Structure formats: C-alpha cells, structure tokens
Amino acid sequence: MAKFNPAAVVLALAASTMMAGDYDALLGAMKKAWPQVGTIAVVCDSNGSKASLAALTGAAGGMKVIVVDVKGPQDMGKAIGTLTGRKPDAVVLLAGDHVAGDGSSAASFLIQRMAALKVPTAATTEAGVKQGAALGIGSGTGGKLLSNAKVAAVAGVAVPAGAAAL
C-alpha cells in the first residue's frame, strides 16, 4: 500500500487552489476587457498539464475551451494550423507547461502568430506579458493586472482598464 506524505498532499492542494484562483482572475479580466471572447484555446502538453487544464476549464464557466495537444516545439506549426482553422477568440498560456509555457520559444512563436491573426493571448505571469501576452493577471503578476499595449494593438483588442503597461 502506498503511503502519502501529508505535506505533499497539502502542497498539491494549495497549488491546485492557487491555479484555480489565477485562472478565475485571468478569465474574469478577459471577460471584462474583451466581452466578445467566447472561445479560448490552450496549446500545451495535455498529459503534463492536467492540473492546469482542469483549473482553467473549471474557471471557464460558459466559455468554450479548445485544447491543442503538443509534445514538443516541433508540433507548434501544426498547432497554429489547428488554431487558424478553429478560430478561437483568445489563447491562454499555461505558465508551467514544458512545451508552450511562459518564457518558452514555442510560446513566443504562438503569441506572434496569433496576434497577426488578431487573436490575443493572455497569461498568469509577468514573464508571459513581457513575452507578448496582451493581458496578464495571477500570482505570477503579484495579483496586478498587466498589459502589453503594443501586442494588444496588433491583436486588435483593448488594453484592459486599470492595467499597468509593460
């Protein structure tokens, strides 16, 4: 019989709650700033990001979520093709995803291609906003609403009211 480390269980539950809070805040800010957003997309390794995907879909309440599964950077071209065909209203970066998470070259590629298609990207970290996400809020931003005005303009969306510009 497997033994569970109580500290590990508490940390896992706390991380899950923190992620849920991050996505609640992020999607709330998106709905307020971009009310036209009804479909969001996520590009990630779905097996490696199960907890984040569950937190995001739980917070999405009423929004359609498209998940594009990638196993490595070599899959990003196909992911962009899928997103071009599915036409999401926005893309959300999963901070901890090992393929297309904040700070990765795959996320930069995704952000640039989506902005050119007039699809904004949102993140839960400051790194994601610095990288080009048009909007960011979550524990990775210190709870502050951040915006990348240059990318928001390229994607054709408004800068959220009260957002600090990066």
The reply to whether 142 falls in a domain is yes
pLDDT at residue 41 in the model: 98
The reply to whether 2 falls in a domain is no
- CB distance 155 to 118 below 8 Å: yes
The reply to whether 81 falls in a domain is yes
The reply to whether 4 falls in a domain is no
The reply to whether 18 falls in a domain is yes
Q: Which residue has the tokens 């901890």?
A: 96
Tell me how far apart the alpha carbons of residues 15 and 117 are, in angstroms, rounded to a whole number.
33
Domain of residue 29 covers 10-165
Q: Is the pTM higher than 0.85?
A: yes
What average pLDDT does the structure give for the chain?
Answer: 89
Domain of 101: which CATH number?
3.40.50.2300
Number of domains in the chain: 1
Confidence of residue 159 (pLDDT cuts 50, 70, 90): very high
- pLDDT, tens digit, 9 for 90 and up, residues 95-129: 999 999 998 999 999 999 999 999 999 999 999 99
The reply to whether 99 falls in a domain is yes
Confidence of residue 21 (pLDDT cuts 50, 70, 90): confident
The reply to whether 22 falls in a domain is yes
The reply to whether 3 falls in a domain is no
- pLDDT, tens digit, 9 for 90 and up, residues 32-44: 999 999 999 999 9
Alpha-helix runs per DSSP H in the chain: 6-33, 50-59, 76-86, 105-116, 126-131, 149-155
